[in-house]
Structure 1
Amino acid sequence: MDERPAAPACPASGHHPSPGHCVASPPSWRVALPHTTAAVPVARALVRTALTELEHAADSDTAELLTAELVANAVEHTSGEAPIRLVVELLPTGCHVEVHDPDPAPPGNLTRPPDTEPDPWQEHGRGLLLIRTLSSSCGHRPTESGKAVWFRLPLPPSRRRPPE
């Protein structure tokens, strides 16, 4: 009987890959949030915790602010009671945050500036401007159940980690 030791499992996934093909998945969090304004502080706390737990160097304050804007927009501009989903991925080059909502319509002026500047006296109208201005990139994509709106924040150049 030929007994060979099992190939070591990939530390990132626990799978037994073919030799030399262990690829670590980036740490990520996926959580369903209620379709209410109560989701906003929960989303902020999750992003703060994710970045702190792994001592990730992406700007936590900016990540929290932009996440709050995306979640607030999803709550305000979509109807129904379907949950909003928050996805946070920590990458070697920064962090990627997505908010999934049930409305397939793209967000207003996320990737291009509007024709007019937001009124500084209004409470609304600056969220997408903040996301465009403070993120390294942002966008949206259709999903099976609506859309995902996302942004990325880079690590400061001195804190970037080599790919694993």
Structure 2
Amino acid sequence: MNGLAVHEPPASPASWRIALPHSAAAVPVARALVRTALTEPAHGADSDTAELLTAELVANAVEHTAGDGPIELVVELLPTGCRVEVHDPDPAPPGDLTRPSGREPDPWQEHGRGLLLIRALSSSCGHRPTDNGKAVWFRLATVPPQWRPHTP
């Protein structure tokens, strides 16, 4: 070889899209899909964080949207990390997703920390209108190889 590094083009992104029931049963199904999508060792996004944030988005969609129509989970693997979206039929934006509310969550309440977790742990997050409601999303950056757990 002549000493020049050979760079392969980045793999095209892979994505999954699945309709989930509008019930609490959607949360473990969504977590399992994200866990499975991120098992590729070369991918490098933090699967545990992705599962946690996905569970928060799906639980919010189930709890805060009316009706019993399905919600949709979209998982996209990118060369720079992953993007997860949850589509629901309610066009109203989620409160306090992209900026803090200015008040601390009540430590005695079981609810009120999901959007805070998404803001704190994702590399970016947001929402956008869709033809049938909205999509709420987060991105996680790839974890550098030296920070990944070593597997035997």
TM-score interval (norm. to shorter): 0.7 to 0.9
Aligned position for 1:102: 89
One-letter amino acid of the counterpart of residue 112, structure 1: R
Bigger relative contact order (CA 8 A; separation at least 6): 2
**Separation in structure 1 between the aligned mates of residue 88 and residue 41 of structure 2, nearest angstrom:** 27
Residue 152 (structure 1) aligned to one of 124, 139, 143: 139
The aligned length equals 138
**Separation in structure 2 between the aligned mates of residue 123 and residue 106 of structure 1, nearest angstrom:** 22
Root mean square deviation of aligned Cα: 1.6
So what's the TM-score if we normalise by structure 2?
A: 0.86
- Deviation digits for residues 6-59 of structure 1 (CA, Å, limit 9, x no counterpart): xxxxxxxxxxxxxxxx99641000000000000000000000000014652100
- Residue 81 of structure 1 and its aligned partner are, at CA, apart by 1.3
Superposed, 1:1-164 pairs within 5 Å as 25-53=12-40, 55-158=42-145
**Separation in structure 1 between the aligned mates of residue 31 and residue 70 of structure 2, nearest angstrom:** 16
**Separation in structure 2 between the aligned mates of residue 92 and residue 31 of structure 1, nearest angstrom:** 22
One-letter amino acid of the counterpart of residue 76, structure 2: E
- Deviation digits for residues 79-110 of structure 1 (CA, Å, limit 9, x no counterpart): 11111000000000000000000000000000
Q: Which ranges in structure 1 are unaligned for 5 or more consecutive residues? A: 1-21, 160-164
So what's the TM-score if we normalise by structure 1?
A: 0.80
One-letter amino acid of the counterpart of residue 49, structure 2: T
Larger Rg belongs to: 1
- Residue 142 of structure 1 and its aligned partner are, at CA, apart by 0.1
Does structure 1 retain, via aligned residues, the 8 Å contact 2:125–2:139? yes
Among the aligned pairs, what percent are the same residue?
Answer: 81
